[in-house]
Amino acid sequence: MKISNRKIHLFNPGHEEAVRTGRPHYTPPVSVCKMMADLALLSAWYGGEGDYVIMNETDETFRFLLSLPLGIRPAALPIRPFELAQLNLSTPIETSPWGLSPHSIHLFETFRKQDDRFIIPPWKEVYTHLTGRQTACECLSKIRPLLSGAFESLVLPRFCSTLNDIRLFMAEYPPPYMLKTPYSCSGRGLYRIQARELDLQASRWIEGSFKKQGVVSIEPALDKVCDFAMEFFSDGCGHIRFEGLSVFETLSNGAYSGNMLGSQSFLEQQVTRFIPVSHLHDIRKAVISILTEVAGFAYRGYLGVDMLVYRKDHSFAVHPFIEMNVRHTMGLVALQLSRRLVHPSSQGQLVIAYDKTESSAYHTHLQMQETHPLQIADNKIRSGYLSLCPVTPATRYRAYVFVED
């Protein structure tokens, strides 16, 4: 059966929690549903010509797309679920969620009842293992011998199931500490402890995490100076393709806030200010080797490995495997935006912002449009503000790029 290169995309954030539950009928938290609705069009910016993006509201989206300069409009088109059966498909089309889970597969199975030409990837139990932080810890233990001795001093996360286990780790290593739930991402499920003793608030967070996920990992918190990631594609046949480097930013609580936009050489310079470029390339080679072993034959799709540069003994070092995101990532979106939208002479940011109050995001959006108008050259953004999704008075989550020359 011939399959076209076209895809039907679905933006389904909160992927790790959906994987953890393992339920086809899982209901995401209200905040995740709101992000899914507000940023539904985000997939269009990495989708290809002839692709579709599933969303519930398309009228506002089409008006938004028509308002964009012709040369920078995304190639993929929005489509509502009930319109899928009306597609004129000459060949089967592949479904492509942001993250694969029993829940996203169930959603696509629901759509396929209208049209059996949709090719849905099967769920494999190994995906649950790959998504958990335990696998990232396994990868870190495998990668250290492949690199220089400097990595031997990195303390592996310890997975604990009781408060006493946590206290034993804290007695062994000095503060501060970073605690993480096994199935979480983008700064969620993190808790930082500054002191060597557990206070009431920390104990409650840990106990709540135990009830929800069974275990919590703890590791020394590093003195971070730069967050970055390496983005890859696994073909499922043992080949891991390096897609590019991404450099991102987080808030004080560890939550993801945005990615740098620019050429690969520019992004590489942000990391090699602290470490030799040869060191960075050695890390990439080692990570590809480990990913080939762990995921190369088990998983087909995009994945990203988060890393960071930190201060160590009056110098700098790299943590080469903080977590593995077995899905599309904002880093991959940033890579596509850098290549397709940003002028070679410019740099910028991809920002994911959240506003708590009604209409606040909408007014900020209008203000930024007025104060930072787009400047286009050669169908690329030289400077200015561009929202990647429609913004209305009901919007809470925004995805936008801000470019400077």
Q: Which pLDDT band holds residue 53 (cuts at 50, 70, 90)?
A: very high
Domain membership of residue 242 as a residue range: 222-333
In a domain, 214, yes or no: yes
Residues 12 and 111 in one domain: yes
309, 333, 357 - which closes a domain = 333
Question: Which pLDDT value is given to residue 56?
Answer: 86
Would you call 282 helix, strand, or coil by DSSP?
Answer: helix
Residues 318 and 263 in one domain: yes
The CA distance from 212 to 159, in Å, is: 15
Q: Mean pLDDT across the stretch 318-326?
A: 95
Residues 38 and 117 in one domain: yes
Question: Which pLDDT value is given to residue 1?
Answer: 44
Residues 20 and 65 in one domain: yes
Q: Mean pLDDT across the stretch 119-135?
A: 94
In a domain, 129, yes or no: no
Distances (CA, A) of 274 to 46, 128, 224, 280, 308: 31, 35, 12, 10, 11
Would you call 219 helix, strand, or coil by DSSP?
Answer: strand
Residues 172 and 212 in one domain: yes
The CA distance from 36 to 24, in Å, is: 17
Question: For residue 42, with 0-12 CB atoms within 10 Å meaning exposed, 13-18 middle and 19 or more buried, which class applies?
Answer: buried
Asked if residue 3 has pLDDT above 60, the reply is: no
In a domain, 145, yes or no: no
At 22-32, the pLDDT tens digits run 999 999 999 99
In a domain, 133, yes or no: no
Q: Which pLDDT band holds residue 374 (cuts at 50, 70, 90)?
A: very high
Q: Mean pLDDT across the stretch 224-231?
A: 96
In a domain, 167, yes or no: yes
Q: Mean pLDDT across the stretch 5-29?
A: 91
Q: Which pLDDT band holds residue 357 (cuts at 50, 70, 90)?
A: confident
Residues 192 and 238 in one domain: no
187, 205, 220 - which closes a domain = 220
In a domain, 238, yes or no: yes
Asked if residue 114 has pLDDT above 70, the reply is: no
More confident residue, 111 or 390: 390
68-72, 214-218, 228-232: lowest mean pLDDT where? 68-72
CATH of the domain at 307: 3.30.470.20
In a domain, 33, yes or no: yes
Q: Which pLDDT band holds residue 4 (cuts at 50, 70, 90)?
A: low
Q: Which pLDDT band holds residue 115 (cuts at 50, 70, 90)?
A: low
Going by DSSP bridges, is the β-strand pair 216-220/158-160 parallel, antiparallel, or unpaired? antiparallel
33-42, 76-85, 106-115, 390-399: lowest mean pLDDT where? 106-115
53-62, 159-168, 239-248, 262-271: lowest mean pLDDT where? 53-62
Residues 229 and 326 in one domain: yes
307, 333, 359 - which closes a domain = 333
Residues 294 and 211 in one domain: no
Beta bridge partners of 316: 311
Residues 117 and 49 in one domain: yes
In a domain, 67, yes or no: yes
More confident residue, 148 or 283: 283
More confident residue, 380 or 313: 380
At 303-319, the pLDDT tens digits run 999 999 999 988 999 99
For 152, residues 6+ apart whose C-beta sits below 8 A from its C-beta are 144
The CA distance from 102 to 22, in Å, is: 6
Q: Mapped to the 3 state alphabet, what secondary structure does 364-384 carry?
A: HHHHHHHHCCCEEECCEEEEE
The tokens describing 45, both together, are 């910016």
For 383-395, b/e burial (b = at least 16 CB within 10 A) is bbbbbbbbbeeeb
At 132-182, the pLDDT tens digits run 999 999 999 999 888 877 677 889 999 999 999 999 999 999 999 999 999
Residues 198 and 295 in one domain: no
Residues 14 and 117 in one domain: yes
Residues 227 and 322 in one domain: yes
Three-point CA angle 179, 181, 183, nearest 5°:
150
Counting the structural domains of the chain, the total is 4
